[in-house]
Amino acid sequence: MPEIAQLKRIFEAALLGAGQPLSVAQLAALFDDQTSPPHEDIARALEELKEDSADRGVELVEVASGFRYQVREDVHAWVSRLWTERQTRYSRALLETLALIAYRQPITRAEIEQIRGVGVASSIVKTLEEREWVRVVGYRDLPGRPALFGTTKAFLDYFNLKSLDQLPPLSEVRDIEDLDPQLAFATNDGAIPATLADDTDEMSADPASANDETRAEDAPSPDDPADAHAETDVRDDTPESAV
């Protein structure tokens, strides 16, 4: 049976190489039946890895899907310069829709529109579903059986949450940009995502463009009358100047 020091080396390498969160069960599955460590040793090794990273630029955190290493927020400004591709910027309309789903789930599209006082474009819902941040969790027992939306584990992982209980009280969220995730160390495609704050448009900088936030391919279809006056969700902007 591996010692704690050996477990730490194995887990550290696995977490850095996986490119996604690993659960305790997945970490335990790295061993065969003869060498599988007890749960207490796994928990101790993970706790010591957290302590070991206290003064480093990365930290070990537990999210909904398991444990992962990620870049600390205080070094994000430098690490984010590794990004050379164009960044996707999400509109305030999309972020407000996401926040309503997170705090009011399960919720229908019509209920979101009633709270916000404006239509929700199909492209916003499509973007949230493609990011796997929201999913249909059921249907309201009303005429037409409208879909009920809820958040996913991917949403919790992106926002560094272990469960919905860790969402800040809505009264404490002074602005939608307060829901910033920290910079993840690695993702499935090997990229390092910037924080949501960096992905969010500064709407006040250009009031004239506040309702023109989407790429052409994401714009509401003319065949969808419900989207004729709905807000749009996402556009691509060129990255900040490389250093």
For the chain, give every domain's residue range: 4-79, 87-182+193-237
For residue 53, pLDDT over 50 is answered with yes
Distances in whole angstroms, Cα of residue 56 to Cα of each of 70, 72, 150: 11, 8, 35
Q: Packing angle between helix 92-104 and helix 109-116, nearest 10 degrees?
A: 120
Q: What is the pLDDT of residues 12-31, one digit of tens each?
A: 999 999 988 999 999 999 99
CATH of domain 4-79: 1.10.10.10
- Residue 194's pLDDT is what? 34
Q: Which amino acid is at 45?
A: A
Compute the distance between CA of residue 143 and CA of residue 146 in angstroms, rounded to an integer: 8
Q: What is the pLDDT of residues 109-127, one digit of tens each?
A: 999 999 999 999 999 999 9
- Residue 87's pLDDT is what? 63
For residue 177, pLDDT over 60 is answered with no
Q: What is the pLDDT of residues 220-235, one digit of tens each?
A: 444 444 444 455 454 4
| 87-182+193-237 and 4-79 share a CATH fold | yes
pLDDT level of residue 44 (50, 70, 90 thresholds)? very high
Angle at 46 between CA 45 and CA 47, to 5 degrees: 90
Mean pLDDT, range 192-197, rounded to an integer: 34
CATH of domain 87-182+193-237: 1.10.10.10
Is the full-model pTM beyond 0.85?
no
